[in-house]
């Protein structure tokens, strides 16, 4: 085999290995590429308890319950499905009922979402794009048309 042929085989092998690596990474991340799930999407997914994920939606009106210390229970809704969430810690100052929220954590075996962090919108006009898109898709968007 000539020097040029050896180089061509080496380059072809390197490209094949790179393509295989990219394919394996994309296969492993296929469910985690989504920024977050809405409660309806989560109900359809039927994920195993203990799965780490991110959910987003609105804090349901009348569903915030403050427990002892920093324990808080609330419900995240997309107006189609609801998901109970528990959180221990300080909530953002702008956290309140009817507002958009994105929550990181794990799904417990009892179906309650155990949150590690809670993100709330920062002013009246802002809502995470993914939350707004999900609400528009379900026909419950009350925004200013943007």
Q: Is the pLDDT of residue 41 over 90?
A: no
Tell me the residue range of the domain where 25 lies: 1-30
Q: What 3-state DSSP class applies to 119? A: strand
Q: Against a cut of 0.85, is the pTM above it?
A: no
In a domain, 146, yes or no: no
CA-to-CA separations, 71 to 77, 114, 119, in angstroms, rounded: 20, 11, 16
Count of domains for the chain: 2
52 shares its domain with 113 = yes
Q: Is 126 annotated as a binding residue?
A: yes
62 shares its domain with 10 = no
- 101-143 pLDDT, tens digit per residue, is 999 999 898 889 999 999 886 655 556 677 777 777 777 666 5
130 shares its domain with 81 = yes
In a domain, 82, yes or no: yes
- 53-104 pLDDT, tens digit per residue, is 889 889 999 999 998 889 999 999 988 889 999 999 999 888 888 888 999 9
Q: Is 37 annotated as a binding residue?
A: no
The pLDDT score that the predictor gives to residue 146 is 45
């Amino acid at each position: 085999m000539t020097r040029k042929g050896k180089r061509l085989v080496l380059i072809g092998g390197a490209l094949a290995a790179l393509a295989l690596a990219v394919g394996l990474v994309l296969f492993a991340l296929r469910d985690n590429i989504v920024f977050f799930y809405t409660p309806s999407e989560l109900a359809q997914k039927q994920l195993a308890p203990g799965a780490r994920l991110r959910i987003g939606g609105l804090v349901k009106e009348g569903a915030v319950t403050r427990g002892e210390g920093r324990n808080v229970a609330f419900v995240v809704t997309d107006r189609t499905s609801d998901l109970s969430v528990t959180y221990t810690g300080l909530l953002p100052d702008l956290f309140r009922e009817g507002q958009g929220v994105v929550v990181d954590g794990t799904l417990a075996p009892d179906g309650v979402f155990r949150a590690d962090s809670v993100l709330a919108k920062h002013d009246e006009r802002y809502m995470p794009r993914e939350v707004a898109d999900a609400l528009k898709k379900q026909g419950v968007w009350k925004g200013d048309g943007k």
